[in-house]
Amino acid sequence: MIRVAHLSKTYGEVTVLKDISLSVAKGEVISIIGPSGTGKSTFLRCLNLLEQPSGGSIAVDGIDLLDKKSDIPRIRQRMNMVFQSFNLFSHLTALENLTIGPVRLLGINKQEAEQKALEILKLVGLAEKADSFPDELSGGQKQRVAIARCLAMNPEIILFDEPTSALDPTMVSEVLAVIRRLAKDGMTMLIVTHEMDFARDVSSRVLYMDEGLIYEEGTPQQIFENPQKEKTRAFINRIRSFNYCISSADYDLYAMNAEIEIFCERQILPRKTRHNLLLLVEELLQIHTPLLATTALDLTIAYSEKKESLEIILENRGEAVNLLDKDRLPDELGLNIITHLAQQIDYQRCEEINRVTVTLKQG
């Protein structure tokens, strides 16, 4: 239904979208997630030609949107958009907001347009607000009117640009309920959202965007339960990380510990957790110190806000060796301490890099 190939968008010297390609089938619900400022909203606006792409192609049912001969107003009627800021006409009632487009653009007579508008307002639970003006509605009600206005144009595709970002938490669920119903009815939708649970429940596919690219895509289960790429994993699990490079056996342990303490304070970690983390880091580094004669050690501490878990990751280049192998250090006191504090210990060899990941035991 929609085919995007090598789409790009630049503003002067700033590149917002880089080589995006995507196909969307009829009835698909695609959620687009990712950090702020990564081009998600710009991507939607390019699809609807509210922003002119700098390169690439967009086709809807084989019609090239970037062809100067294409009927863009007609295509916009088929692919309508719901904005985060509602964009309702403040001088018109809810009913009038729904009828103005069908009457002026589709040529439907006023009586027929009003009858259909009332049916759609009933669908979104706002029939009693038909004669209310936007400033008499709550944020959630305004957004539902905006969705109803979109439906009044008989779209085949709806683009949602963060439809709940301007709402109080109490109003979010009422808007998401309407979008869920549309998904159930088979509407083709692309939704930029920060509502992760909603994206998991309603989507047939999820795109994770980062740095102007579709960094990873897959089913909700793949993206939310088993992301394959590090940035996706960090975003989904809301991971905060601390990084420290140790290039010599004479590194300043006290300075490093002070930085780790600051990191722990920012995550509001309990005192016992901080103590165990520092002890675990110290014992791990003690065992790995012999490697510092020939290579540097990269230390990463990753805290998952979602899982409330802490991982310590040590990486070094060199020959394949796992210094935490029990067969190498069967009577090592430090290894016993590590085993006592660790919930899980994992060793991987990746492209000439040794990676040891230790998960701190919770509680």
pLDDT along the chain (363 residues), means of 10: 94 93 95 93 93 93 88 85 89 95 90 94 92 93 93 93 84 88 93 91 94 95 92 90 92 93 92 94 92 92 90 92 76 83 92 92 82
293 DSSP assignment: G
Residues 30 and 154 in one domain: yes
Please state the pTM of the whole predicted model: 0.78
Residues 331 and 222 in one domain: no
CB 140 within 8 A of CB 171: yes
Residue-level pLDDT at 331: 64
Tell me which residue has tokens 């009038």.
Answer: 96
**CA–CA separation, 163 vs 67, rounded Å?**
30
Write out the residue range of the structural domain in which residue 143 sits: 2-228
Amino acid at 188: T
CATH (domain of 80): 3.40.50.300
DSSP H helices, 267-301, are 271-288
Does residue 233 sit within a domain?
Answer: no
Residue-level pLDDT at 230: 87
CB 177 within 8 A of CB 121: no
The SS3 of residue 142 is helix
Residues 46 and 192 in one domain: yes
Residue-level pLDDT at 170: 77
| Single residue among 228, 257, 289 that ends a domain in this structure | 228
CB 355 within 8 A of CB 348: yes
Residues 327 and 263 in one domain: yes
Q: What is the pLDDT of residues 302-338, one digit of tens each?
A: 999 888 899 999 999 988 988 888 777 656 788 889 9
Q: What is the pLDDT of residues 245-291, one digit of tens each?
A: 999 989 999 999 999 999 999 989 999 999 999 999 999 999 998 88
CATH (domain of 305): 3.30.565.10
Backbone angles phi, psi at 90, to 5 degrees: -70, -25
Residues 218 and 310 in one domain: no
Residues 143 and 53 in one domain: yes
Residues 187 and 245 in one domain: no
C-beta neighbour count of 296 within 10 angstroms: 14
Residue-level pLDDT at 329: 63
Question: How many domains would you assign to the chain?
Answer: 2
Backbone angles phi, psi at 99, to 5 degrees: -95, -20
84 to each of 87, 88, 194, 325, 350, how far by Cα in Å? 8, 11, 12, 54, 43
Residues 132 and 276 in one domain: no
**CA–CA separation, 56 vs 40, rounded Å?**
17
Residues 304 and 349 in one domain: yes
